[in-house]
Structures are given as C-alpha cells and as structure tokens.
C-alpha cells in the first residue's frame, strides 16, 4: 500500500505543490462569491415612487411605472408630469441589493448591466496583465500582490459610497482576481 508521499512522487507532485494547491483553493473559494453577486445583487426588486409632500393645493398621483408622477394644481386645474427622485423599496432590498443601495431604477436602470460589463472588462485586462506581474516580480510575490489587492478591492466594493466607486473597485477587483487565478496555474506547471 502506498503512503501519501509515495503516491505524490509517483504522480509527479511534491509537498510544495500540495501546499500551493490548498492555498489557492482557499483563495479561489473566498473570491468566488464576488462573481455571483452580479446575478443576485442586481435582480428585480419591488419599489414605489415616493410622492413629494405639498400643501393642500396640489394632488399627486404616481404612475404605474413608478418612475413618474402627476401633479394636479387644484387652483388652476393644470396637470404636470414629473420624474420621481426618491423611491421606497421592499424591506430588505435596500441592504441586500445594489438596486436599492444605489437607486438603480428608472433612468438609472441601465447601470445594472454596467456592473457586469465592468467586471468582464476587468477580467480581460487582468488576464493580460497578470502574467506580466508574475514575470516581473516572481510567481510568489505576484500571487501575494494579486490576492492582497483583490481582497482590499472587495472591501472597497462592499463599502463604496456611490455606484461609480463601486464600479472602480469592481473593475480593480476583477483585474487582480484574474492574477489570483492565473498565476498559480503558471507556478504549478513549472
């Protein structure tokens, strides 16, 4: 019966390879949920337009699309259309969704797709630059830089104050996470 070390020698893998595989498996498992957030964080949420409060001379009525409302002046009987500037979301949607946190509804709804596009562009840039990083600084140092920067960008992603800060951290996190994925494969193949 083979012992574990003899089996590794037969396969052509040493203890160093096993340590690297275990370390990067943990890194990839911790990094994976950020890629799933695109599917769950920008999904459909229930919301309604918050009508402005006014005096008794104006009657406000929300439209079915929840993106605009009508204001009827009771004195002149004139009706005017206005875009909503604030929304009320279902309980929990503000804290658990990018849509509720950054008001990605109505005229800002197109930004939902930008989140995913920015991540893909970051992966493209990262897949090209990560090998240069590992060639310039070495596999180990390149991996440490990529993993550390990716984790720091994840914190920035979580606590970003606006959508554009989120987009910046999302892009950088995708760039560095590609380094965290590609550099180990290069290191293990050498």
Q: Are 51 and 68 in contact (CB under 8 A)?
A: no
Angle between the N-to-C axes of helices 111-137 and 33-41, in degrees from 0 to 180, rounded to the nearest 10: 170
- Name 82's bridge partners: 69
Whether pTM > 0.75 for this model: the answer is no
Length of the chain equals 190
Query: Tens-digit pLDDT profile for the chain (190 aa)?
Result: 457 667 666 666 667 777 777 877 777 776 666 666 666 666 677 777 777 776 555 566 666 567 777 777 777 777 777 787 777 777 765 666 777 777 777 888 888 778 788 888 998 999 888 888 888 888 888 888 888 888 888 888 888 888 899 889 989 998 998 888 888 777 777 6
Residue 128 CA to residue 135 CA, distance in Å, equals: 12
Residue 115 has which token pair?
């989140």
Q: How many CB atoms lie within 10 A of CB 83?
A: 10
Whose CA is closest to 148, among 135, 160, 162, 137? Answer: 137
């Amino acid at each position: 019966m083979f012992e574990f070390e003899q089996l590794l020698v037969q396969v052509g893998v040493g203890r160093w390879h096993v340590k690297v595989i275990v370390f990067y498996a943990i890194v990839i498992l911790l990094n994976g949920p950020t890629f799933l957030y695109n599917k769950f964080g920008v999904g459909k949420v229930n919301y309604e337009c918050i009508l402005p409060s006014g005096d008794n001379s104006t009657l406000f009525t929300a439209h079915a699309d929840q993106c605009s409302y009508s204001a009827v002046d009771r004195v002149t009987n004139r009706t005017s259309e206005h875009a909503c500037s604030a929304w009320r979301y279902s309980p929990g949607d503000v804290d658990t969704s990018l849509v509720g946190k950054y008001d990605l509804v109505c005229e800002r709804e197109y930004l939902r797709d930008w989140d995913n596009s920015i991540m893909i562009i970051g992966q493209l840039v990262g897949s090209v630059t990560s090998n240069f990083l590992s060639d310039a600084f070495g596999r180990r140092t390149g991996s440490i830089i990529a993993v550390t920067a990716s984790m720091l960008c994840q914190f920035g992603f979580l606590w970003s104050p606006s959508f554009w800060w989120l987009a910046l951290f999302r892009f950088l996190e995708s760039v560095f996470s590609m380094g965290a994925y590609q550099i180990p494969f290069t290191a293990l193949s050498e």
